[in-house]
Structure formats: structure tokens, C-alpha cells
Structure 1
Amino acid sequence: MAQSSTAEAVPARKGKLKLIILIAVALILAIALSIAGTLWFLGDGIPGMGDDVAGENAVAEEVFTPSVYMGIEKALVTTVQGEGRQRYAQVYLSFEAKDPQALTAAKLHLPLIRSQLVTVLGSSSFTELQTPEGRAGLADTMLATVNQVLEQEGEPSINRVLFRNFVVQ
């Protein structure tokens, strides 16, 4: 009888060994599928699966061009009307552009641009210049004015007008 009990124990161990191997293979397969799914959902794709064409197009589309800046050395100073009194406004400006040629053109036509900007600043109201929304509106108006002058001269336009210092009193 002793022999029959050991004979039955050996097949039970082989069955458990097969079950352990099956579970290990299933676990490894689940981990591999999880990694592949994560890579796919994150947009990287599975390495070596022919995504080279899409990657080359993405690189060709996005070319970073840094902005170039030019500061106006002298402040724009003018009077503005506010609450029945004359008030003063002093603004230091800088121009931002992607094309350095636009800043070269702005420097060339700076006397005309300064004159137009002083007119725009002088036509603003004191209460309007005290609010952030009023200053943002003034920057947009100044941008349109500068680009209008540059367009009349046949030059490229600038992207933004930036305030370096802004004082109203």
C-alpha cells in the first residue's frame, strides 16, 4: 500500500506544477499587454511597429523660433484727462517679434511710431489706465497702431507691445 500512496502523490505534484507554470505564463502575458497598452495610449506606440513616418512629420511641423525684443530707450510721456484735472502718463515700451527684420524696420521708423503712440496714450482716460483691462486694451491699441505704421511702409509686423514700466499720476 505504501507504493500506491506515493504513486498518487507524484501525479498531484505534476498537476500543481502545470498549474503554477500556467499562472506564471498568464501573469507575464498580462504584464506585457499592460505595458503595450500603456505605450499605445500615451501616444508613443509600440517600439518598432512602423511609427517612424508619423514621428518625422511631427518633427517637420514644429520648428521653434524664439522671439526677439527691442526696447524703446526713451519713455513716452504725455498728459491724460482724468476727473477734471490733467494727469501724466509715462510708459516704457518694448516690442516683440518673431522676425528680426520687423524690429529693424520698427527702429528705422521709430520717430513716426513714437508720435502715433503718444497720440494713442494721450487719448486714453485716466480711470481707464488705472485698471488692468484698460492697460491691456491700450497695449492692443498700440500694437494695432505700430503694425499699421509698419504696413504703410511695407514692412513686416510685430507680435506684441510690452510695458516695461507704466506710471500714471
Structure 2
Amino acid sequence: MAENNAAEAPAKKGKLKLIIMLVIIIVLAVGLSVVGTLWFLGDGLPGSDSEDGSNGAPAEPAFVASSYTDIEKALVTTVQAQGRQRYAQVYVSFEAKDPAALQAAETHMPLIRSQLVMVLGGQDFMELQTPEGRRALAQAMLDRVNQVLAQESEPAIDRVLFRNFVVQ
């Protein structure tokens, strides 16, 4: 009986050592995989110094939300067509990162509306029916609005957006 207890004690000690060794190996494997993932997919380990000496300064600029303003009334004008009189009706919005640019656009809205109607009226009817033609119109309108704002020494807007676009 005493011999049976003595034989079981070394067997339990051996299994306990084996379990502890396996747990240590698994913990090390998980830790190394996490460190490896951070190293290869990220920009090094958290808290480590960067190589370019930027001292932890963010590489990307901070996110700045855009602001929008609408031209309340539609821009309506005739457009060039082959022998027929065609109409275009466009509802326009402006996008800018700088709220001062939108405030300036609202201040000079009568001049901007006049210029945008002239830009829209100078377009070809067939071109306005294609996505490329509409993108070109948006760019031409953006250029004209920014030209007006530059003449008034105001900040520029970033984009012209169409809320509704009808040609007939």
C-alpha cells in the first residue's frame, strides 16, 4: 500500500511539470504572435520611438468635418441644343472645410448665382446628359465660384454638389 502511494506521487509530479511547461509555451506563443502582428501590420510596437524622429507626432492631418450650404432657389436657364430650345434646372450646394468660405459664399450669393447661371447656360445639352458632362459642369462651377470669392479676398470652397439635376 505504501509502495502504491510512492509510485503515484512521482507520476503526478511529472504530469504537473508537463502541464506547466505546456501552459508557458502556449502563453509565449500567443504573446509572440501578438507582438509579431503589431510589428508587421502596424508601425512598430506601441510606445516605441519612430525611425523618422517625429517624436510621436501624428503622420496624418486631423480630420476636419465638411460644412455645407445650399443655394435655395434652383438655377434655371436655357442650354445649347441642336435647333431646339432646351432647359436645365439645377439645385446646387457648396461644400467646404472652412466655415468662413461658406459664409463668404452666402454673403456674395447674388453674384455667385449670376455667374453660375452663365456657366450653366454655356453648356451643351448632350454633354449635360452624361455623367462626365455633369462632372465637368461641377468643376466649371467650382472654378467660377472660387474665382468670385478670390476677387473678394475670401477663402475658397472645396466642392460643388448637385442636389437635383434636370435637363429637358
Q: What TM bracket, shorter-length normalisation? A: 0.7 to 0.9
1:57 Cα deviation (Å)? 1.1
TM-score by structure 1 length? 0.78
Residue of structure 1 in register with 2:31 after alignment: 32
1:127/1:25 Cα in 2 relative to 1: closer, same or farther (>3 Å)? same
Distance 1:21 1:139 in 2: 69
Residue of structure 2 in register with 1:140 after alignment: 139
Residue of structure 2 in register with 1:166 after alignment: 165
Residue of structure 2 in register with 1:156 after alignment: 155
1:37-56 alignment runs, 5 A limit: 37-43=36-42, 45-47=44-46, 49-51=47-49, 56=56
1:38-77 alignment runs, 5 A limit: 38-43=37-42, 45-47=44-46, 49-51=47-49, 56-58=56-58, 61-77=60-76
- Mean CA deviation greater in 77-86 or 32-41: 32-41
- Deviation readout 1:67-112 (Å, 9 max, x if unpaired): 1111011111110122210101111111111111111111121111
1:17 Cα deviation (Å)? 7.7
1:145 Cα deviation (Å)? 0.4
Residue of structure 1 in register with 2:128 after alignment: 129
Q: Secondary structure at the match of 1:117?
A: helix
Distance 1:34 1:149 in 2: 58
Distance 2:25 2:99 in 1: 61
1:32 Cα deviation (Å)? 2.3
Distance 1:107 1:28 in 2: 63
Distance 2:11 2:136 in 1: 84
Residue of structure 2 in register with 1:5 after alignment: none
Tell me which protein shows more helix as a share of its residues. Answer: 1
Aligned-pair identity in percent equals 66
Residue of structure 1 in register with 2:90 after alignment: 91
Matched residue count: 164
Unaligned runs of 5+ in 2: 1-8
- Deviation readout 1:13-48 (Å, 9 max, x if unpaired): 98888777656544443332222111222316445x
Q: Secondary structure at the match of 1:70?
A: strand
1:55 Cα deviation (Å)? 8.2
Provide the aligned C-alpha RMSD in A: 3.1
- Mean CA deviation greater in 64-73 or 15-24: 15-24
Distance 2:12 2:100 in 1: 82
1:93/1:55 Cα in 2 relative to 1: closer, same or farther (>3 Å)? farther
